[in-house]
Structure 1
Amino acid sequence: MSRKRLLLVFALSTILVLSGCSAVDPASNPIDPNNGFWDRYFVFPISFLLDWFAELTGGQYGLAILFVTIIIRLLVLPLTLKQYKSSKAMQLLQPQMQEIRKKFKDNPQKQQEETMKLFTANGVNPLAGCFPLLVQMPILIALYNAIMRNGHIREHTFLGMQLGEPNVWVLPILAAITTYLQYKVMPQQPNAQMQSLMLIFPVLIFVMAMQFPSALALYWVYGNIFTIIQSYFIYGDLRKGASSTRGVQ
């Protein structure tokens, strides 16, 4: 499965799963750490952290979500660094990949086979960039549960937005823009599919953010900003390398 398709599956799966969650009455299903594996190890810890940080910040759950977002992104950082190594290796392989495209330009299947052989021989995983997103899917679902099943968070208002209710325009637009920007700051491969993904995925995020609680959209905005800053420092040398390569061509 290509990276584009995998990311689309991730987005659509998140929409379906969270939409299913919204059908459950939160009041009838309070968070209980003794209520199975999911509540004990996913929902309760996130809810506890949100309550704890809110208490530290004078009851501001919007700021609590920021701190929890930073913690989650730091936990995913090892996978992000693995993605960085894969991106760097992909950049070094660009000349050989271009040769394969030229050599087998009339045979897409052979072109794909030879490209995969090149990746395997050099220990490169083209799907490494998807791992952080896939890891975050259960976290997103747990965060949704922690918000909707915790009355303090669900009813809290932050910057005029009730965190348990959707925000129709502001947060969805911010989520879409920051999603687009986080793709822009990453080193781009000369791949038409990835270019189209830069346009499709922000639209999906916009639609999702319009449907889900403001707290979840706020998490996306915070997470995207974190990724933009992180990418600026991690991928700086790759962007310079890509620019110099284009200059030589």
Structure 2
Amino acid sequence: MQRTSVFTAFKKYSLIGLILVIFLAGCGSLNEPITEDTEGIFNHYFVYNFSLLIKSIASVFNGSYGMAIIIITLMIRLVVMPFMLKQTRSSMEMQDKMKELKPEMDAIQAKYKDQKDKDSQMKQQQEMMELYQRHNFNPLSSLAGCLPLIIQMPILISFYWAIRRTPEIASHQFLWFDLGETNMILALIAIAVYFIQFKVSQIGLEAQQKKQMAIIGLLSPVMIGIISFNTPAALPLYWAVGGLFTIGQTLISKKIFLAHKKKTEETS
């Protein structure tokens, strides 16, 4: 199952990479309000337009920037939802395929366990490739699951920096907290949401896979927590809403896939 862990790890590290990219994308301009005169293609065409969108939606809700953030977050998630559903289905199909291939894969790995020379390693790889071909299985197809992340990346980065660089947001209150001030309760909610999201993503995985991905999966809520404890409450609000949507989306997509799989097995 070593190959499975490599591709699964790639997807998990992608989320961590996204968080890092979000911060690196705005280095040097963190405290500058975004305006139509701000230099840079990314700032002008992406961040500034998201800032305008936030203000426009807030005006519809009597100046509630909290509602604007929630609505735009849900809009973004709905736009990428078809890609995410496809990713979840592909991931679960791959897991089932790997379970089917596991006995033969283990046999090949055991056959060459004590043979570390180059020729033996090449033969092992060749037998693995032949195994994949017999079962019409392409392990690299799991990398296609990163497509939703790639699609989301410019959108999420733009929205993130629009929140950070729209001064009007900081002066407003939403529910019990000020959007421009750090809020410990909301930060804890964001951490809890991402921890639950991690647990939900493990549904259907084998015990060994869950163990392999435990530390990597926990990095996400930890990083969200560190950031949320040091940034305005508008950001953990955005993360909490997006995380809750993703939890519901993942549960629904896995339920649909399992029901479809059960129906297929009954009719075959």
User: Which category of TM-score, normalised to the shorter sequence, fits these structures?
Assistant: 0.7 to 0.9
Give the counterpart of 1:185 among 200, 209, 231. Answer: 200
Give the counterpart of 1:131 among 125, 128, 147. Answer: 147
Query: Given residue 26 of structure 2, which amino acid in structure 1 is its aligned partner?
Result: C
- Is 1:73–1:223's contact at 8 Å kept on the other side of the alignment? yes
Taking structure 1 as reference, are residues 144 and 201 closer, same or farther at Cα in structure 2, changes over 3 Å only? closer
> For structure 1, which runs of at least 5 residues remain unmatched after alignment?
244-249
Q: Which residue number in structure 2 is paired with residue 85 of structure 1?
A: 89
Give me the CA root mean square deviation: 3.4
Kindly report which structure 2 residues correspond to 1:20-99, keeping only aligned pairs within 5 A, or say none.
21=26, 23-24=28-29, 26-27=31-32, 29-32=33-36, 35-99=39-103
Q: Which residue number in structure 2 is paired with residue 144 of structure 1?
A: 160
> For structure 2, which runs of at least 5 residues remain unmatched after alignment?
1-5, 114-120, 263-268
Give the counterpart of 1:102 among 94, 101, 106. Answer: 106
- Is 1:3–1:130's contact at 8 Å kept on the other side of the alignment? no
- Is 1:97–1:115's contact at 8 Å kept on the other side of the alignment? no
- Is 2:12–2:217's contact at 8 Å kept on the other side of the alignment? no
1:122 correspondence with 2:115: no
Query: Given residue 14 of structure 1, which amino acid in structure 2 is its aligned partner?
Result: I
TM-score (normalizing by structure 1): 0.78
Q: Which residue number in structure 2 is paired with residue 7 of structure 1?
A: 12
Q: How many residue pairs end up in the alignment?
A: 241
Q: Which residue number in structure 2 is paired with residue 207 of structure 1?
A: 226
Q: Which residue number in structure 1 is paired with residue 118 of structure 2?
A: none
Percent identity reads 31
TM-score (normalizing by structure 2): 0.73
Taking structure 1 as reference, are residues 200 and 240 closer, same or farther at Cα in structure 2, changes over 3 Å only? farther
Highest relative contact order (Cα 8 Å, sep 6+), 1 or 2? Answer: 2
Cα offset, 1:100, TM superposition: 3.8
Cα offset, 1:226, TM superposition: 0.6
Query: Given residue 143 of structure 2, which amino acid in structure 1 is its aligned partner?
Result: L
